[in-house]
Amino acid sequence: MLISTKISEIREIIREERKKGKEIALVPTMGYLHEGHLALVKEAKKSGAFVVMSIFVNPLQFGPNEDFDRYPRNIERDARLAEEAGVNLIFNPGVEEMYPTTNLSTVAVGKLGDCLCGTSRPTHFNGVTTVVSKLFNIVQPDRAYFGQKDYQQYLIIKQVVKDLNFPIEIVPVPIVRESDGLALSSRNVYLSPEQRQEALVLQKSLKAADEWIRQGERSGSLIEEKIKEMIRGESSGEIDYVELRHPETLDRVEMIEDSVLIALAVRFGSTRLIDNKLVEGL
């Protein structure tokens, strides 16, 4: 496995792989790898492509009072896990390499960025679309892999690819969870043992909501209220949002029809966790 911090080297290595007839797959991450990230790699390996993983804690997608400085980082551990998983090349640039200018051009997200996480993190998705567009231009992959844990991000990236005509297929990968149901996240390391235990209510409430819907409940706002009630009743978590939205347009869903996205964000102390469930085939 190769590791480089330089855009020019990355381009050179990929050019050589292309010459050999290899397809290129990209797995963008902020590092501190866990099984969720490795599931993306596993999916990327299936196609036989040369797999490039980017590891970059992108300052542009953090708000002024968010956790950019304390975001967990461990490149040696990441490199070991990535190599074991079959990554061929890690791109691990510094901030200077990615953003050498203060007069930066950015990619502005459309309407899909206005709700859910975009409400409490107003600059977040522009940071994501900018860095991902840069990675797409640097690596020029055939396919890029995104987790459904960040469902809104996945939809936004699909929209950017369409709107800006990137010739790249966006492949979604299902959420990977701990055995007790907590969705894997690099931020889980911030949780105290008590918060870690309380956070189980997120998956529990999503499962319960799935059940209520399958039993015939069709009111979006009623389901939202019932989920909030469960979270408040079983944890000290502070709810950012619990919303039922259309799985493609992210429009608010009042009457549930054939499918619905249940998305939530809850703060445990200073740690904000997100989770979601796509309820389909109704």
- Catalytic positions are 37
Determine which residue in the list 14, 24, 26, 36 makes contact with ligand AMP, applying CB under 6 A.
Answer: 36
Determine which residue in the list 133, 159, 185, 235 makes contact with ligand AMP, applying CB under 6 A.
Answer: 185
Stretch of residues binding ligand AMP (CB under 6 A), selected from 75-83, 96-104, 177-185, 204-212: 177-185
What are the residues whose beta carbons fall under 8 Å from the beta carbon of 150, sequence distance 6 or more?
274
Do residues 237 and 142 touch, judged by C-beta distance below 8 A?
A: no
**Between 124-139 and 7-19, two packed helices, what is the crossing angle to 10 degrees?**
50
Do residues 237 and 270 touch, judged by C-beta distance below 8 A?
A: no
Query: Should residue 186 be labelled a site residue for ligand AMP when binding is judged by CB under 6 A?
Result: yes
- Shortest separation between residue 165's beta carbon and ligand AMP, angstroms: 22
Query: Should residue 182 be labelled a site residue for ligand AMP when binding is judged by CB under 6 A?
Result: no
| 3 state DSSP class of 274 | strand
| DSSP β-bridge partners for residue 28 | 54
Report residue 211 as tokens. Answer: 């059940």
Amino acid in position 55? I
- Shortest separation between residue 233's beta carbon and ligand AMP, angstroms: 25
C-alpha span between 100 and 6 (Å, rounded): 12
Judged on CB neighbours under 10 Å (0-12, 13-18, 19+), 13 is middle
Query: Should residue 30 be labelled a site residue for ligand AMP when binding is judged by CB under 6 A?
Result: yes
Query: Should residue 150 be labelled a site residue for ligand AMP when binding is judged by CB under 6 A?
Result: yes
- Shortest separation between residue 184's beta carbon and ligand AMP, angstroms: 4
- Shortest separation between residue 273's beta carbon and ligand AMP, angstroms: 11
Nearer Cβ to ligand AMP, position 147 or 247?
147
C-alpha span between 109 and 127 (Å, rounded): 9
**Chain position whose Cβ is nearest to ligand AMP:** 147
- Interface residues with ligand AMP (CB under 6 A) are 29-30, 36-37, 39-40, 146-147, 149-150, 173, 175-176, 183-186
